[in-house]
Chain A
Amino acid sequence: MSDSSQQVHAQSMTELAAGLDAGEFTSVELTRSLLERIGELDAKLNALVTVTADEALAAASCADEARATGNGGPLNGLPIIHKDIFCTRGVKTTCGSRMLDNFISPYDATVVEKLADAGAVVLGKANMDEFAMGSSNETSYFGPVRNPWDLECSPGGSSGGSAAAVAARLVPAATGTDTGGSIRQPAALTGTVGIKPTYGRVSRYGMIAFASSLDQAGLITRSAEDAARLLGVMAGFDERDSTSIDRPVPDYSGAINEPVKGLRVGIVRQHFDEGLDPQCAVRVKEAIAVLESLGATAVEVDLPNLDLSVPTYYVVAPAECSSNLSRFDGVRFGHRAENAEDLLDLYCRSRGEGFGDEVKRRIMTGTYVLSAGYYDAYYLKAQQVRHLIADDFKKAFSDVDVIAGPTAPSPAFRLGEKVDDPITMYLNDIYTIGANLAGLPGMSVPCGFVDDLPVGLHLVGAHFAEETLLRCAHQYQQHTDWHKRCPEGFK
């Protein structure tokens, strides 16, 4: 390998694509180098639950052959990892749970298939909160992921393994999923870029379901430019997902080069109330000032029902989770209890043993709010409040192009700090949950540090305004270098 390829781990997807095109290194060399790095550094982080070295080298070799004959897709030979919630054919797909510790998926998720068809090389599967339920990665059956910026801290969750791996330069990009902030909050806490597209923009087929009306697949990368490149491949209609939206995929990579001059940026009054770390507030305001210096106009907007978004979510999401997770019965796949007395005992013990505490708690919360006598008071009420929240956003977007604010209330917190208090943990998602409830696209972009820990700027757009978010983020990254900072020990 040439000298310039010594530091392949530090390069973005875009830079790596150029290196491959120029013949500076092959995909096999690149893959081998990153696999070595994972082997060397991941013991500190626990970001990956499975490393698919053989499959990756085989895919890289195919990519090199395709390149030699002038073929190959838009991501030909480029490395990526998948959150372990995406089904990968022939590879263990655990969803961070003991329940699926032995599950070898018989098929590929659409996202996995699309990225593979484009030539991406999958290095492994990322650790995550069990069934994506958690904001700290501490609910994983495979142990918590550590934040590369401070190994005593959480990387956030639930896509914590994806975020930690990208932040630590183990891989330039990772898939993630976001039901209440699970891409954007870990992106903020690890100084990476995270995008959750509009509900229905990316297929949910083969993505293990948590809360079907909120779940959406997205990405964690180190730059908006890389996110645009990958989203263009992942997005699009899929007849196998009944809520997939049939709408053309725009040229995201082209759109990011448009200036932000004239863009109206909404600032939500309630975002800067108590609850937000004052130093984080300063970083976020500085980022908004950068956008203003580029010609955007800041406008105050109101989201009066913001406070109700977390309680609404903690009715809707558990309700849908209790229904979705009823498929785990110990019979067809997943953990099965031994020596069951009868069928009911088989169900109850397989589920009791296979699920962790937080998952059981959410299944029970969902069962309660859907049970006879409580449905109207909780589930129906929450779906009504959800409409109020969506209407607030609709009103705001009649005046502004994008809403900017904090992604999370504080920088990364210490592992163990919030694990015993579900409500404090749930409130971590206060700024991100609204976008899921309303089905809007959201994005987190690194915007500075507080006490050496990264802070994220949260951008939310109207339905299908991914281009606006990516453009805003890319233009911001042309004038700042927060996204290029690398944690000590991972340079």
Chain B
Amino acid sequence: MSLSKDQVQHIATLARLKLTDDEYAESVEKLSRIVDFVHQLSQADTSDVVPMAHPLDAAQRLRPDVVTETIERDRFQENAAAVSDGLYLVPKVIE
């Protein structure tokens, strides 16, 4: 089962990845092999098998709805490439 270049382009767009032409060629080849490889799962008989949600069948824990964190915006924003007045800067979205 091989993926087409169009399919790989669509996947890359969904994944928000810009690839070079070389990377596209390689991705078509390698992703096709990976998809082929995982396709063997289709042979397994899984009728009546419940999909696994958690390895220990644990339920999601809930916590009381109380404030536990403090605001440390300045410290967290030290890792951002572009900030101004406590806001993250991105290219213009609205003309």
Contacts and interface: CB of A to CB of B under 8 A. Distances in A.
Interface of A: 102-104, 106, 198-200, 213, 239, 242-243, 245, 305, 308, 310-312, 314-315, 322, 326, 329-334, 336, 340-349, 351-353, 355, 357, 360-361, 363-365, 367-369, 371, 377-378, 380-388, 390, 422-423, 426, 437-440, 463
Contact of A330 (B20, B40, B46, B81): B81
Nearest to A427: B37
Given A330-B81, A343-B93, A360 B58 contact: no
The size bracket of the interface on B is: 35 or more
B60 interface: yes
B56 A388 contact: no
Contacts of A363: 15, 17
A103 B41 contact: no
A364 B91 contact: no
B76 A315 contact: no
Contacts of B79: 102-104, 106, 332-334
Interface of B: 3, 7-8, 11-12, 14-20, 23, 26-27, 30-31, 33-35, 37-42, 44, 46, 49-56, 58, 60-61, 63, 72, 75-76, 78-82, 88, 90-93
Nearest to B34: A365
A122 B54 CA distance: 33
A341 B91 contact: yes
A360 B39 CA distance: 20
Q: Dominant SS at the A interface? A: helix
Contacts of A355: 17
B12 to A, nearest CB: 6
B44 to A, nearest CB: 5
A209 to B, nearest CB: 16
B44 A381 contact: yes
The list of the 6 closest CB pairs from A to B, nearest first, reads A439-B55, A383-B51, A352-B18, A333-B79, A348-B18, A384-B46
Given A367-B15, A438-B55, A357 B23 contact: yes
Contacts of A329: 16
A332 B80 contact: yes
B89 to A, nearest CB: 8
22 contacts: A103-B79, A106-B76, A106-B78, A213-B55, A243-B54, A310-B37, A314-B38, A315-B41, A343-B90, A346-B90, A346-B91, A349-B18, A360-B19, A364-B12, A365-B34, A367-B11, A371-B11, A385-B41, A385-B44, A385-B46, A386-B52, A463-B56
